[in-house]
Structure 1
Amino acid sequence: MSSSSRGCTSCRSNSLVRDDITGNLICATCGIVQEFDNFDAQLGGLNGPQGTFVRVGTAGTGTLYSYKEKKVFEAQKLIDYFTSRLGLSGPISNDVKTMIARITDEEFGQGDWFPILIGACAYVVMRKDNKSLPIAEVASVIGTDIYELGRMVARVVDFLGLKGPQEFPEFDVVGSFERAVRTSLSFSRLGRDKVERIRKQGVFLVQCAVKWFLTTGRRPLPVVAAVLVLVGELNGVDTRIEDVAREVHANVSTSRLRYRELLESLVEVAQALPWGKDVTLKNVVKNAPFVIQYMERKSMAKPIDMTRATKESEVVGVDLGDVISECLRKDVEYGIDVNSRENDSQYFEVEENSGFARSGDDELDRMKISHECLSFFYNEFLNEAGHEKSMEGSGEVRGRKRKRGFELHACRDWWNGKSELTKKLLLRQILEKDVGLDALPPSFVSGCRVYKRRRKKINAAKLRIKRVMDPSGPDLIESIDICSSEDARAVKKRNRKRVSDVDWEDLIIETLLLHEVREEEIEKGHYNTLLEVHVFNGGVMPEVPATKAK
């Protein structure tokens, strides 16, 4: 031990000694350890010896990771979080990390833009694997706008150079429906067999909707919601379109519109049946089992030989022997209200093993049974059934119970499930199938209606202009050749109405016609552009000569 000339910080005594073990100064009088006496200054600048507690180039006390390593670690944690919420597996999450590392040069990132990049990469990875992941669901999980996410997806696809259906397949609407069936709460309590039955029926209807162009140029999720609701109703499952649309992340109003379009398509298919005129939009759900059975059997039928088939058999396109045999049977129990006219379609219940004795395909081809014949057989059967009902009321008919209301268990065998449309097919294969209806795209049909309406407005405007310019002329409706007789009658009836019935579109069309705009351009409906070019512009303005300053 050694003494020091420095005084004690407690008693001011100069009797300080140094401990040989710890190296601290201790007061010999009071025994207080003197603080800040063993400070060792680090000299030598940045290249000098390292300090005791702090290392050069680190963030935080005692940490062993750099800033980049910490940033990458936090980014990967965020990727795992969002992929877990999307229900993606571990290998897919690793593919997302690899894609983000490639895009960011292994820098990853932080900020509000990074979750959007995670969602875009997750969507692209699933599309590359031809798996279903709706972009609306990704936007909902990420918490961003669907359009902003779509722009990020477009940037990712452009950066990776994904071109063509092989590298970036189309959206799988069938896979999206199958995923919705597995995850929907409405079908979670059903048995496995019933869920599988619903899945096959839904896949069949979804691919029929693809054939009818209900998904062309549109968002596919509302179609998925509409098919889910329809198959739920057919199988006795309580489904509401609002709940189903919320589960699949689809717009409710658009889902209702697609549901209506699906029912309208089924109504058109039902017109080929003998009682098709009785099937309307209100009762098509009750008739849907038989309409779908007709569609299923028609899709399973072999292509008709055009050289041997007649026009009537081409239109019917089903096994006429089964149809007639089943329609003429008297011992079939129908779970319907016998007083209801809408339920007449229940009499069309076709069985595979019916009692009709087939004599071969050649004899069936020679039958030449038309719609009129089928309607005659059907009406005869209705008359006989009505006679039986009257006899039943008098007590002469025994062994038949009166049932009321539509009962799906009475037609539990309407679904066969053997059609190829119950499996996922390519678009070319779907279009080759015959399901009883070859529809045009709804947008094309709507555009044709709009063009027709504008053509009528143009013809009416030309009549009004001619009447003003030549009021003393002969009958205008008969003198103008461009108007058909139907259009002329409509215009004549319209001319008797008040002047206020002419709307703003009629006035714009009149103005454009007076400025000699071609009718083909007016039919397209780009009124603002045509007004700007032909009316307000008035052509090229002449140059005004500049005046000399005095």
Structure 2
Amino acid sequence: CHKCRSINLVIDDLTGNTVCASCAVVQQYDNYEAHIGSITGEKGTYVRMGTAGSGTNYSYRDTKIFNARKSIDDHMLRLGISGVKSQEVKLLAEKITGGEYGQGAWFSVFIGACAYVVMRKDRKTLPIAEVADAIGCDECELGRMISRVVDFTDTKLPEFDIVNSFERSVKTCPSLTKVSEEVVLRILQQGVFLLQCLIKWGVTTGRRPMPVVVSVVVFVGKLNGVDVKIEDVAQELHAGIYTCRQRYRELLVILVKVGQILPWGKDVNMKNIMSNAPFVMQYMERKSMMKGCDQRQSPEFDMEELVGDLRKENYAPEDRGSIYFEDVNSDETCCFDQSDRYKFSTESLSIVYAKFLDEVSSLKSGNDGRRICRIPNSRRKGFDVAEWWQGRSELSKKLQLKQILEKDVGFDPEPPSFEEGCSATETRRGKINAAKLRIQRTLNPSGCGAVEEEEGVKGRKRRKKATEEDVDWEDFIIETLLLHGVKEAEIESGHYNVLLDLHVFS
């Protein structure tokens, strides 16, 4: 033994090493075998590149595929996709990558793009914003990856179904989880009706769909007495808050225009549109239910129901001096069954309503002891939704685009994007005229001064205002384009970068 110098050495049966029987020290270089490398010599151990850790037999490719499939399962769980659809996403990823899959940040974006394409092909709603939030990437980056996937597979995706998106949003929105099933069903009917009206009016054309969905959810929720905030709903549905507010304002503006068709339409504005919304929705519902030649006529009113509501809600005054508050005899109510005798146009109702207002004002100004019963607080706050919403219109159910465009809801405005484009064109035309005046004033200052001197004092005031004129970068660009001979019609289009590249920097 090299330690205790004992000669009592034994061989271990398990390891084959020589061990000292006295001190149990393993002797060195006892079982050493020299490996002499040559052409005919023994082969050594081949060390391969890409071994997946010590103690495993998996190669780099096998480990990469295993981790890729595990990553797909994790992302499908986040997106709420399982079963057959999850398997379709795996097959699509395998087809595009040739069975090699991938790893890294780009592969997560690729998984989100495959999931979006699979769900879109099956006409299932899965917004890009929701996928980007679950994956943890930018919407534009995800959109570019979706385009590459679609081009590679030569797939034609169907149009985005905004109605399905709205139904899914109502059912999954946390702000509406505590609402009863009856109210949720009514919200779905009214929301689908209003959303398809917006499709007919061109509000959804060329716009991101989710902000429109958020605006409809908030409006219909408030209409049914649900306390919802547009900021909360926008955050829950992964939509931009600023864009949602713009779409909500556009919705209110259009409903105000529809409300102004009613006999009391001059009193409808942005502040009281929520109070008049039941009448506006009922008007559009009745108009959409008309067919054929009835669309050219004014909608009929159920006089028996109208008078019955007035009597039930105590609209009559305590003093019966006015003919508008006279009680209707029970024997006379039978005449209301003859609906052909009671068809009123909006003009006649407007005249009656104006006379009613005049008589009520005279009663109030008389101050002779007579008193008119006030409308109950429940009525002033708004009608019960169950009283006015019937949900019998075909627009309350999902329709094809052609069927939506054929419906008449009593109002047919221009698309908001078209109106905004016309307004922007008018603004640019005004800037062009102002720029031409500034150029003329600079090229011919003497002529402008003579004209201003002839105008006297008013001319001096105008000259002072001209010096205080606000000029921004757009005015400078328009002046530059005019000096380079660009046509005014081309400038009105607003494509300044293209015009600068063509006429100025070329």
Give distance in 2, aligned partners of 1:325 and 1:390: 31
Instruction: Spell out the pairing of 1:519-538 with structure 2 (5 A cutoff).
Output: 519-527=488-496, 530=499
Counting matched residue pairs gives 476
Aligned match of 1:185: 174
Whether 2:307 is the aligned partner of 1:322: answer: no
Give distance in 1, aligned partners of 2:485 and 2:259: 48
Aligned match of 1:301: 290
Give distance in 1, aligned partners of 2:440 and 2:16: 118
Unaligned runs of 5+ in 2: 316-332, 452-458
1:418 Cα offset (Å): 1.9
Give distance in 2, aligned partners of 1:42 and 1:439: 92
Whether 2:403 is the aligned partner of 1:433: answer: no
Aligned match of 1:194: 183
Which stretch of the first structure deviates more once superposed, 431-440 or 389-398?
389-398
Give distance in 2, aligned partners of 1:506 and 1:40: 90
CA gap of 1:108–1:22, structure 2 versus 1, over 3 A, is closer
CA gap of 1:392–1:36, structure 2 versus 1, over 3 A, is farther
CA gap of 1:511–1:370, structure 2 versus 1, over 3 A, is farther
- The question of whether the paired residues in 1 share the 8 Å contact of 2:278 and 2:383 is answered with no
Give distance in 2, aligned partners of 1:397 and 1:260: 37
Aligned match of 1:357: 337
CA gap of 1:447–1:18, structure 2 versus 1, over 3 A, is closer
Whether 2:398 is the aligned partner of 1:424: answer: yes
- The question of whether the paired residues in 1 share the 8 Å contact of 2:303 and 2:336 is answered with no
Aligned match of 1:498: 465
CA gap of 1:36–1:184, structure 2 versus 1, over 3 A, is farther
Unaligned runs of 5+ in 1: 1-7, 336-352, 476-491, 541-550
Q: Residue by residue, what CA displacement relative to the aligned partner does 1:110-160 show, whole Å, maximum 9, x if unpaired?
A: 111111101111111111111111111111111111111111111111111
Q: Look up the SS of the partner of 2:73 in the other structure.
A: helix
**TM-score computed with the length of structure 1 as normaliser:** 0.74
Give distance in 2, aligned partners of 1:385 and 1:513: 62
- The question of whether the paired residues in 2 share the 8 Å contact of 1:234 and 1:408 is answered with no
1:30 Cα offset (Å): 5.5
CA gap of 1:380–1:90, structure 2 versus 1, over 3 A, is same
1:525 Cα offset (Å): 3.5
CA gap of 1:50–1:323, structure 2 versus 1, over 3 A, is farther
CA gap of 1:105–1:20, structure 2 versus 1, over 3 A, is closer
1:453 Cα offset (Å): 3.5
Aligned-residue identity in percent: 53
Give distance in 2, aligned partners of 1:268 and 1:397: 32
- The question of whether the paired residues in 2 share the 8 Å contact of 1:334 and 1:410 is answered with no
Aligned match of 2:149: 156
Give distance in 2, aligned partners of 1:21 and 1:143: 55
Q: What letter corresponds to residue 499 of structure 1 in structure 2?
A: A
Give distance in 2, aligned partners of 1:144 and 1:57: 30
Higher helix share: 2
1:21 Cα offset (Å): 8.0
- The question of whether the paired residues in 1 share the 8 Å contact of 2:17 and 2:30 is answered with yes
Whether 2:206 is the aligned partner of 1:209: answer: no
Q: What letter corresponds to residue 488 of structure 2 in structure 1?
A: E
CA gap of 1:29–1:88, structure 2 versus 1, over 3 A, is closer
CA gap of 1:105–1:281, structure 2 versus 1, over 3 A, is same
Aligned match of 2:120: 127
Instruction: Spell out the pairing of 1:53-132 with structure 2 (5 A cutoff).
Output: 59-132=52-125
1:13 Cα offset (Å): 2.1
1:407 Cα offset (Å): 3.1
Q: What letter corresponds to residue 428 of structure 1 in structure 2?
A: K
Aligned match of 1:481: none
Which stretch of the first structure deviates more once superposed, 406-415 or 419-428?
406-415
Instruction: Spell out the pairing of 1:255-334 with structure 2 (5 A cutoff).
Output: 255-304=244-293, 309=296, 313=297, 316=298, 318-319=299-300, 321-322=301-302, 326=306, 330-333=310-313
